[in-house]
Chains A and B, each alone.
Chain A
Amino acid sequence: MTTGAAPLLKVRNLRIALPAAGDRLFAVDGLSFDVHPNEIVCLVGESGSGKSMTAHAILGLLPPQVRIDAGSEIVCDGTDLLQLGEQGLQQWRGNRIGMVFQEPMSALNPLQRIGAQIAEALILHARTLGAEQVRQRVLASLAAVGLPEPERICRAYPFQLSGGQRQRVMIAMALINQPRVLLADEPTTALDVTTQKQILDLIRRLQRERHMGVLFITHDIGVVADIADRVIVMRQGCAVEAGTRDEVMLKPRAEYTRALIDALPGRRPATQDEAGGSREVLLQIRGLSKRFVTGGSLWSPAREVAAACDIDLDVREGETVAIVGESGSGKSTLGRMIMRLVEPDQGEILFAGRDILKLPRRDLANFRRDAQLIFQDPFSSLNPRQKVGEAIARGLIIHGEAPKAARNRARLLLDRVGLGAWAAERFPHEFSGGQRQRVSIARALALQPRLLIADEAVSALDVSIQAQILHLLGDLKREFNLTLLFITHDLRVAGEIADRVVVMSQGRIVETGTPAEVLGAPRHPYTRQLVSAVAGTDFLGQLAQDRAYIEALA
């Protein structure tokens, strides 16, 4: 893809110094790369690798505590952006360089109509335009990003749009001044797979049509496989590998890149136990329904959302069942209803033959010993004022264990989840996300539950950490003889860990089957859509073929 033309964006020896208290000296250390017209360059790396810092440095959006070293150069169209003052940079931001952020909700002003916000981006850099011209340009930009009824979107407020629509609006806004360079910082991370697929296609299409250079920042190597022309793999502020997509993805030279690609869920064969058809049914759900009613006042009718609609599901002892669906499909509510954190409207949940919805208070406490939940966000699922050891020991103490024995058990468990007994005396804020998730797992396992519900337990983690946690869960499952209900939006994760996959959409179960059936030959149109939307699917297929080919040659 690299043409002979001069690069649109040239970054040379970029060095960003962190404040003295940071975990390393430089957020970005000696990074150099080019973005040419007509190509998408992906900066890929895990959180803390310095990829977002790089994008922010280009537009002068770094926080005041960090400093760019004197030797660094960021040249765009012959101008060194680092030499420009704040005023000079304003001419570039949104004009010659467009930017799309990760979280479309917080990047839009919630109190202003969409049309006005896009118009503002235009007027800032083209003051001479008349009102009608502005309107036409705004409508055209909304149409260009594939939004239906641009007129209606113009009048809407951000909260009235879906996540995908908002991200399209952000792209329209970033592109309205026809910049040659687009910076996209994790633009699809907050989106569902199907929406992610659409947004990636859109960025690719617009980039081709307008011959732009795109710097695309992501942590997801699957996304890289789908969209990149060239790839730069970053780790701890340094580029560990750079090259065309096929070079990097198919023949990775750096150990780290290989680890990243291997950590992609779905790359390893599913570790299926002998799925016990003969084993007892541990959890039996019949006709479970729940509707949430929101809003509803004198002026607006109440909005009803069906989180669960007549759900039937059996989970056998020792089985791993993955519940897959997009956000809003009701999968998390299902997990919470089983834990009785949310009371269902109708139906029954039988656990080992007893309806837990009718349990008296004392028996409910016993049931809670048998079923535990791991939450998605490791940062909010631990009490910030409670030592980690105490958090784990509490469960045992509540159920009658002597405090001393409980604390000893907590230390053993911390050791078992790979943290070491020293962790017991620390507070949660001293741990990283992956470590906290290990603590959450230890807390859930302390009571030796029979059923473990993992609600998006690895979604907030980097891929390599994700792989470690999945591995740990797999080991613990065998060791503790657990039944695992794994709630996830990520089909790749589901395919890797589950004996059986259940697909949910709008509160209903639309498809059930083994991972091979559901992912390999989906029957329901919704599942088919989900499967085809998974980033990197084509690439993984190609990779498998290539490997087979190479093996055949050997």
Chain B
Amino acid sequence: MKPALLAFLRRPSGVIGLVILVFVVGAALFASAIYPGNPWDTVATPFTPPGTDGLLMGSDSLGRDVAAGVVHGARISLLIGVTSTFMALVVGVLVGAIAGYSGGRTSSLLMGVTELFQSIPAFILAILLVAILTPSVATITFAIAIVSWPQVARLTRGEFLSLKEREYVQAARCLGESPVSLMVRYILPNALSPVVVAGSLSIATAILIESALSFMGLGDPNMMSWGYMVGTARTMIRQAWWMSFFPGLAILLTVLAINLVGESLNDVLNPRISRQ
């Protein structure tokens, strides 16, 4: 992996993305050190503009520190983004691998189920699931995972379909490898690069879905989240722009950073693009 890492670091866009991402992850990890105390607490006069009274990003309509909200909000965004994508990857890779390797009726059945999920607009399904299951970190993560796995499954199936015909897989079959071993030892490692790239990009999508859910009031009521902050401040955008601007900027930068990193990973890990 050394040359891949070097190639990654040679890409300016990837490095920029990585730097932003390090900041976001740092904020999430050290939120309680940077802004000790509860971000929901009133700490200042309501509607204080940024830069006054030592408030970096001003205060909101209830006198809460916006900067504290943004820093603490990084936690929920990343937590949900990463865990939901991880769940989607596990389910998607499993379904896609079995469908791609087995072919025939099993494949048709699994792909039928996948298409069923894909035929419902992702966001609507997510809203529906969260509304039914009552909003919490666990249910939001679950809902996002449910709408994200079909893509991963299709991608994995495609890779498996082409890789299982490769001569080295046939050679391994001749050695007497079992189907599970063929899938895990021979096909999966070679199919993983595009899946990793798709996964990194789907973290960004998950963060956006989470923000959108919180914006609509379907977020976890106990957690400070960027989407929630934008949502509650949107009616006062003309009087107090900073209340929605900073959390919005945080969403934008985080998603952008993840996309930049994902694209660079794609360039580096995808053998079909030359590594010049």
**Interface set, chain A 62-82, CB cutoff 8 A to B:** none
| A394 at the B interface (CB under 8 A) | yes
Contact across chains for B168 and A382 when beta carbons are under 8 A apart: yes
Contact with B along A53-65 (1 / 0, CB 8 A): 0000000000000
Using A368-B175, A395-B176, A447-B175 as known contacts, say yes or no to A341 and B190 having CB atoms under 8 A apart.
no
Partner of A373 from B174, B178, B185, B186 at Cβ < 8 Å? B174
Q: How far is the CA of A38 from the CA of B137 in the complex (A)?
A: 81
Using A375-B167, A375-B170, A377-B167 as known contacts, say yes or no to A383 and B175 having CB atoms under 8 A apart.
no
Q: How far is the CA of A386 from the CA of B175 in the complex (A)?
A: 15
| B172 at the A interface (CB under 8 A) | yes
Q: How far is the CA of A443 from the CA of B166 in the complex (A)?
A: 16
Contact across chains for B176 and A443 when beta carbons are under 8 A apart: no
Contact across chains for B186 and A341 when beta carbons are under 8 A apart: no
| B171 at the A interface (CB under 8 A) | yes
| B121 at the A interface (CB under 8 A) | no
| A440 at the B interface (CB under 8 A) | yes
| B10 at the A interface (CB under 8 A) | no
Q: Which residues of B contact A (CB under 8 A)?
A: 166-178, 181, 185-186, 189-190
> Smallest CB-CB separation from A364: which chain B residue?
B176
Contact across chains for B189 and A385 when beta carbons are under 8 A apart: yes
Using A375-B167, A377-B167 as known contacts, say yes or no to A383 and B186 having CB atoms under 8 A apart.
yes
Using A377-B167, A381-B168 as known contacts, say yes or no to A369 and B186 having CB atoms under 8 A apart.
no
22 contacts between A and B (CB under 8 A): A341-B173, A341-B174, A368-B173, A368-B174, A368-B175, A369-B176, A373-B174, A375-B170, A375-B171, A377-B167, A380-B167, A382-B171, A383-B168, A383-B185, A383-B189, A383-B190, A386-B186, A386-B189, A394-B172, A394-B177, A398-B175, A444-B174
Q: How far is the CA of A382 from the CA of B166 in the complex (A)?
A: 9
| A384 at the B interface (CB under 8 A) | yes
What are the residues of chain A within 8 A of B177 when measuring CB–CB?
394, 398
A123 to chain B, nearest CB (A): 33
What are the residues of chain B within 8 A of A339 when measuring CB–CB?
174
Q: How far is the CA of A365 from the CA of B177 in the complex (A)?
A: 8
| A218 at the B interface (CB under 8 A) | no
| A399 at the B interface (CB under 8 A) | yes
Partner of A394 from B169, B170, B175, B190 at Cβ < 8 Å? B175
Using A380-B166, A383-B186 as known contacts, say yes or no to A373 and B171 having CB atoms under 8 A apart.
yes
What are the residues of chain A within 8 A of B190 when measuring CB–CB?
383-385
Partner of B168 from A341, A380, A447 at Cβ < 8 Å? A380
What are the residues of chain A within 8 A of B181 when measuring CB–CB?
398
| A372 at the B interface (CB under 8 A) | yes
Q: How far is the CA of A236 from the CA of B186 in the complex (A)?
A: 36
A306 to chain B, nearest CB (A): 22
What are the residues of chain A within 8 A of B170 when measuring CB–CB?
336, 341, 373, 375
A367 to chain B, nearest CB (A): 9
What are the residues of chain A within 8 A of B175 when measuring CB–CB?
368, 372, 394-395, 398, 443, 447
> Smallest CB-CB separation from B271: which chain A residue?
A384
Q: How far is the CA of A398 from the CA of B176 in the complex (A)?
A: 7
Q: Which of A369, A377, A383 has the most CB of B within 10 A?
A: A383
Q: How far is the CA of A395 from the CA of B186 in the complex (A)?
A: 13
Q: How far is the CA of A383 from the CA of B181 in the complex (A)?
A: 13
4 smallest CB-CB distances across A and B, nearest first, come from A395-B175, A381-B167, A385-B189, A368-B176
B7 to chain A, nearest CB (A): 13
What are the residues of chain A within 8 A of B173 when measuring CB–CB?
341, 368
Q: How far is the CA of A32 from the CA of B169 in the complex (A)?
A: 47
